[in-house]
């Protein structure tokens, strides 16, 4: 089938590459000329395990192509997936300007029956706005072209997106049209050889499902962080508590790991947007407000631990950071707890050495330039280099190379043997027996 994906960010590029992998002819469209030029040379704008080879293979075999305009002949199809960003506005609501701009562009180009698929994470009611935008452009052309708008939210985890797309837990399709159901089933059937996981529902139901799913996962994270903070004050090891409650099948082990708060491009944005939607409908979302408040507070926990150990003034202290990405498996530093921690450390007068296996280019691009130009932040090339001569080590992201380090080597190169474990990776007893001061989250 011929498919057009608009947007070559995280969602769009994974979607296009995986559809091409199943034999479809796919064109990915993006107005960013530099991004498209890079993709044609095999340079991806994001880091995602396994994605580079899928893109390269399908581009080489002619199933995947890239262009900068829907007017390009290669972009013509009868199924368009909108996969552009919906950044948060100042009030927390999702900014739909890019989605609606794409909808208008589609309206300027379609000539035959077309299915328009909302793949971006969009608020309830967006499909109607997309439909109106397309109709307006068709009216300007005096064109009578039939089309349908479908909600097909993505459920991809950064760091496992290719696997999630190729082997989905579920695929939600929001439509009231039987003809659209048939086309969408045909598109997704190759991903469901084992058993069908398609869920058909109303458009508004599908739009809400995405937000509700992310909000539920964010709630589990914030709840566990709340329990961890209470455990720390009561002399309880939260890791034992986590295993105790996770063994209950009604709760499970997923998303109940204490840490320094959730980040990335999805959870923070989607919780804020859902809160905004609730308030727009005169409903006070007390649970969601608490989830967001706990997460914002949790991002300060690591600095609070450093302050309790060294005092609020950190001039003359050097801190080593392991991890900058908001989680392992990605280069995404958006809304990462590392950003909050770095800002607090630098403002308190500390110098910082930091290392991340993947996110260093993103950090150089996203972090304030004066952090690096002033010399207060050094991004080093190797994990142990980040600990040379430092007064404390803070583990921020639980990358695999950090999980079983050489503590003997660490003790020799650090100025002071202080470890703050922001992801509870290490056994406190073993670390203390190795001669370190140790502090974790809720332990």
Q: 426 phi and psi, to 5 degrees?
A: -105, 150
DSSP assignment of 246-272:
HTSTTT-STT----S---SSSHHHHHH
Q: Cα dist. 114→64, 66, 79, 139, 259 in Å?
A: 20, 20, 6, 16, 46
- Which of 156, 198, 142 has its CA nearest to residue 175? 198
Report the C-alpha gap between 224 and 234 in whole angstroms: 15
What's the token pair of residue 4? Answer: 């057009």
Q: 273 phi and psi, to 5 degrees?
A: -65, -40
β-bridge pairing 392-395 and 25-29: unpaired
- Which of 320, 362, 358 has its CA nearest to residue 341? 320
Question: Is residue 67 flagged as an active site residue?
Answer: no
Three-state secondary structure of 285-315: CHHHHHHHHHHHHHCCHHHHHHHHHHCCCCC
Q: Reduced to 3 states, what is the DSSP secondary structure of residue 299?
A: coil
What's the token pair of residue 102? Answer: 């794409």
The conformation of residue 359, written as its DSSP 8-state character, comes to -
* HSE-CB for 263 with a 13 A CA cutoff: 25
Catalytic residues: 266
């Amino acid at each position: 089938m011929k498919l057009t994906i608009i947007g070559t960010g995280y969602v769009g590029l994974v979607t296009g590459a995986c559809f091409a992998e199943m034999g479809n002819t796919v064109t990915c469209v993006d107005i960013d000329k530099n991004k498209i030029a890079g993709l044609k040379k095999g340079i991806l704008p994001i880091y995602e395990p396994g994605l580079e080879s899928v893109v390269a293979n399908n581009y080489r075999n002619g199933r995947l192509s890239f262009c900068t305009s829907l007017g390009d002949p290669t972009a013509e199809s009868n199924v368009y997936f909108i996969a552009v960003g919906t950044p948060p506005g100042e009030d927390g609501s999702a900014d739909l300007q890019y989605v609606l701009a794409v909808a208008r562009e589609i309206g300027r180009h379609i000539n035959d029956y077309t299915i328009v698929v909302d793949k971006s994470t969009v608020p309830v009611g967006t499909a109607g706005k997309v439909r109106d935008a397309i109709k307006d452009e068709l009216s300007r052309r005096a064109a009578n072209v039939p089309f349908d708008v479908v909600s097909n939210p993505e459920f991809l985890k950064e760091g496992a997106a290719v696997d999630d797309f190729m082997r989905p837990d579920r695929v939600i399709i929001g439509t009231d049209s039987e003809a659209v159901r048939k086309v969408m089933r045909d598109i997704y059937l190759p991903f469901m050889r084992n058993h069908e996981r398609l869920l058909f529902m109303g458009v508004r139901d599908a739009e809400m499902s995405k937000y509700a799913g992310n909000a539920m996962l964010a709630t589990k994270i914030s709840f566990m962080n709340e329990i961890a903070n209470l455990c720390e004050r009561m002399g309880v090891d939260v890791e034992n508590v986590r295993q105790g409650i996770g063994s209950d099948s009604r709760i499970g082990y997923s998303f109940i790991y204490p840490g320094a708060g959730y980040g990335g491009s999805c959870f923070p944005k989607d919780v804020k947007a859902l809160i905004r939607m609730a308030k727009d409908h005169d409903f006070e979302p007390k649970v969601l407000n608490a989830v967001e408040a706990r997460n914002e507070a949790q991002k300060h926990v690591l600095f609070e631990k450093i302050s309790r150990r060294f005092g609020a003034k950190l001039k003359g202290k050097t801190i080593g950071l392991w991890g900058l990405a908001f989680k392992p498996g990605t280069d995404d530093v958006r809304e990462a707890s590392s950003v909050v921690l770095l800002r607090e450390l630098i403002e308190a007068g500390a110098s910082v050495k930091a290392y991340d296996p993947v996110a260093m280019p993103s950090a150089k691009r996203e972090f304030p330039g004066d952090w690096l130009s002033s010399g207060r932040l050094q991004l080093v090339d190797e994990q142990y280099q980040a600990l040379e001569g430092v007064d404390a080590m803070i583990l921020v992201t639980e990358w695999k190379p950090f999980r079983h380090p050489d503590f003997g080597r660490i003790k020799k190169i650090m100025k002071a043997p202080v470890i703050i474990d922001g992801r509870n990776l290490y056994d406190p007893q073993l670390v203390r027996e190795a001669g370190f001061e140790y502090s974790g989250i809720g332990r």
